[in-house]
Structure 1
């Protein structure tokens, strides 16, 4: 009977240790994601004028995938040295116009 109790206790300790490792790994991943987001924000603060940054924030609310794609594109351009000046609101509008999915227009014809 003591052997069975000892096996159960060991198994419980192993499961708890494994769970602790999983939690630590999850926390590490979350911290890494937070750092990446902070770095992205810092880069965007440098390359975007305030109005453009506000517009991108609003776009993120309605179309998060489009905002993410545009942010990544802008950061890649900045890191490769292809941006000569800050992105203005008008420039961002044009970039967003190209990045936004085209809407299909449905016409109903009655006969």
Structure 2
């Protein structure tokens, strides 16, 4: 293994974190617990997203997607959501490699506007 926690370990850690937050809620901390619970949920969604991407993308494709996200964050997140939607619908067989990622990026990239200037 690569030393990364698998889905079962991640779920166990999330469950322990939620139990800790619930115990703290019983101690009367009020508003802070709600914020912590929301933060824990956000972290859980992020961890699930990363696990899905790790499962369905090769290392090269994941690196390419991360590079795109660094330069064009909104577009990178849009591509990420598209990959997750494809994965959840079962339309991905195997893993998306670097070539497939390049194709996906070309398909999702907004059309560039071309300005042809004609002189009369």
TM-score after normalising by structure 1: 0.72
Q: 1:51 aligns with which of 60, 66, 69?
A: 60
The answer to whether residue 103 in structure 2 is matched with residue 94 in structure 1 is: yes
1:6-17 correspondence to structure 2 within 5 Å: none
What do residues 49-93 of structure 1 show as CA deviations (whole Å, max 9, x unaligned)?
110000000011111122212212211221222111110111111
1:5 corresponding residue in structure 2: none
The answer to whether residue 54 in structure 2 is matched with residue 40 in structure 1 is: no
Q: Give 1 or 2: higher helix fraction.
A: 1
Q: 1:60 aligns with which of 69, 76, 87?
A: 69
Find the aligned partners of 2:52 and 2:96 in 1 and give their Cα distance.
12
Query: Could you say what the CA RMSD is over the residues aligned between the two structures, in angstroms?
Result: 1.8
The secondary structure found in structure 1 opposite 2:53 is helix
TM-score after normalising by structure 2: 0.67
Find the aligned partners of 1:47 and 1:70 in 2 and give their Cα distance.
13
Find the aligned partners of 2:34 and 2:119 in 1 and give their Cα distance.
61
Q: What is the count of residue pairs matched by the alignment?
A: 92
* Larger Rg over CA atoms: 1
Find the aligned partners of 2:56 and 2:108 in 1 and give their Cα distance.
18
**Change in 2 beyond 3 A, CA 1:21/1:105:** farther
Gaps of 5+ in 2: 1-28
2:12 corresponding residue in structure 1: none
